[in-house]
Structure 1
Amino acid sequence: MMSEVNVQVTMATGEQATAVLAMLQQARTETTVVLIEHLDEVTPEIQARYLDAMATSDDHLALLAMLNEQVIGMLTVTPLHGQAGVGELGIVVLKDYWHQGIGSLLVDEAIYWFENFAPLEHLVLDVFKQNERAVNLYQRFGFVITDEVQVMDSDGTPQATYLMEYQNN
């Protein structure tokens, strides 16, 4: 899968804020699934503080997929407000690197962190139903579909969306 590229997974830090923002802004132009509110209002300074805070919190995770010095993907786990013990997983990979195993690499690292270090009891995510490759990826890692809802994509189009959950057994 990734025979021609040497991707490294690293913890995100504030030092990478500018590169992370650039990757997220690029990804948003490549797909309608990047649903980060107020992304245009986030400055590198704000992003740096956010990444540094995540790096020192035991119930947050921010991982970067790096190809040389370029950020090509990111995975986050953040606690859901009002739902004790529940973390939401989010993942984005630049389009040029889709279908090369990078999403699997990031999810595998997140599951390892969740099972061995996180104080969380559940991981949840939502994924557009039409994104069959992503649905299959999450199911391979043990996520189960718990519900189906409508979510607006970044273009404002309603999308059938699976809510999925992984429990630490």
Structure 2
Amino acid sequence: MPDCPLADDCPSFSERIQGMGCQHYGDRGGAEWCGHYSMPIRDLKQQPVKPGEEVVVEVTDIHESGAGVGRTDDGFIVMVDGVLPDARALVKITQVKSSHALADEIERLPMDPEEEMEGEPKPEPTSSDDDEGPKRPTALGSRDNFWGS
């Protein structure tokens, strides 16, 4: 059995017998195959993310399945379940396909990367007015002010 071409980069590379190559490497239908990732080797070589990797994703759209659609820094598409658009999140890649990856959310991050780097949060400005009323005018058609009086 020849050596796996991903041996240097693969975190799950393991040999049963010294010098025999990775136990996950095989041949399926004439294509080099990785049994650990259940993917062809050629697809694993092309993808910028690997299963189990943690990356920061900016979610900008929503898929018809309800998953948030985002991109990594290098532009690869990642679909994250449970994250809605206009969000940044640290995600763990669960499955890599030829054109996109699926991931689970680990942590929600602030939209502005500079906010994340600053240690202490900025204090909120407090108003000197102690009005107990609403901060915005009551809209016409609301239950409290239906006729606009």
Same fold (TM over 0.5): no
TM bracket (short chain): under 0.3
By relative contact order (CA 8 Å, sep 6+), the higher-ranking structure is: 1
TM-score of the aligned structures, taking structure 2 as reference length: 0.25
Higher share of residues assigned helix: 1
Larger radius of gyration: 2
Give me the TM-score of the superposition, normalised by structure 1: 0.23
